[in-house]
């Protein structure tokens, strides 16, 4: 049995800062004081610098000459560009998965959807969608949908776009007060299309699913 590699200080700090950015603890545009992070996480300065460098490669932080590191800002333009690009890549992954997937792949989708829905039943819709357990189940559901895609490069690009989109999706949850978004229905529609092997409907469903988040955010004053 293979033993998983031990996490380094940089690995741990990178994970913690990434989580804080995605959950909105560290706000878009916020300055990241390296010395303060070193003291807060009780790790070496080198581990902080390595972690920030990795997050910079992921696009979650930016480094500016003489100004240090900041959390990457959010904007209307980036949200739209990111979402259009994500729809294109996700659509390609879905089409390949639908063409290549087997019965075991279908079973993984159903199991992931069931777990996500059960977690959503245990709390109010907004409370569930803010919880780390539901967010992990949500990520696993979307991974399961494309799991049969046999293109490692497409899947890597998809993973990067998903991580970037999480900041916006989590931002949209508390803003969804007037529209009462049917997230459960959106996921069911997407799953049903994939299981029917209806690639065109699956791509339409994922596009509308992604842009439902965009619509909520753009109606708010946050990105005006």
E-strand stretches of 103-182: none
CA distance 186 to 206: 8
* The predicted structure's pLDDT at residue 1: 43
* The predicted structure's pLDDT at residue 4: 55
* The predicted structure's pLDDT at residue 181: 81
User: In the sheet where 61-64 sits, what is the strand order?
Assistant: 31-32, 68-71, 61-64
Tens digits of pLDDT across the chain (224 residues) = 455 567 788 888 898 998 888 777 888 889 998 888 888 988 888 889 999 999 988 888 998 877 788 998 888 999 999 999 999 999 999 999 999 999 999 999 999 999 999 988 865 666 667 678 888 999 999 999 999 999 999 999 999 899 889 888 888 877 766 657 889 999 999 999 999 999 999 999 999 999 999 998 888 765 55
* The predicted structure's pLDDT at residue 6: 76
* The predicted structure's pLDDT at residue 206: 98
| DSSP conformation class of 29 | T
| Total-model pTM | 0.81
* The predicted structure's pLDDT at residue 221: 64
Buried b or exposed e, range 94-133, using 16+ CB within 10 angstroms: bbbbbeebeeebbebbeebbebbbebbeeeebeebbbbee
Contacts of 95 (CB under 8 A, 6+ apart): 199, 202, 203
């Amino acid at each position: 049995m293979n033993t998983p590699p031990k996490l380094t200080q940089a690995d741990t700090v990178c994970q913690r800062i990434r989580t804080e950015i995605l959950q909105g603890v560290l706000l878009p545009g916020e300055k990241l004081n390296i010395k303060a992070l070193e003291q807060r996480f009780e790790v070496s300065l080198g581990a902080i610098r390595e972690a920030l460098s990795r997050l910079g490669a992921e696009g979650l932080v930016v480094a500016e000459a003489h100004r240090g590191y900041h959390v990457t800002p959010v904007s209307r333009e980036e949200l739209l560009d990111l979402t259009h690009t994500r729809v294109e890549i996700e659509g390609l992954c879905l089409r390949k998965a639908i063409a290549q997937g087997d019965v075991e792949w279908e079973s993984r989708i159903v199991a992931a959807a069931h777990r996500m829905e059960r977690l959503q039943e245990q709390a109010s819709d907004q409370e569930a969608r803010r919880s780390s357990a539901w967010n992990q189940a949500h990520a696993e559901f979307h991974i399961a949908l494309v799991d049969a895609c046999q293109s490692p490069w497409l899947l890597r690009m998809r993973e990067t776009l998903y991580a970037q989109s999480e900041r916006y999706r989590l931002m949209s949850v508390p803003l969804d007060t007037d529209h009462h978004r049917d997230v459960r229905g959106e996921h069911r529609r997407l799953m049903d299309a994939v299981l029917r092997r209806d690639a065109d409907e699956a791509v339409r469903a994922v596009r509308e699913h992604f842009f439902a988040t965009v619509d909520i955010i753009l109606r708010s004053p946050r990105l005006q």
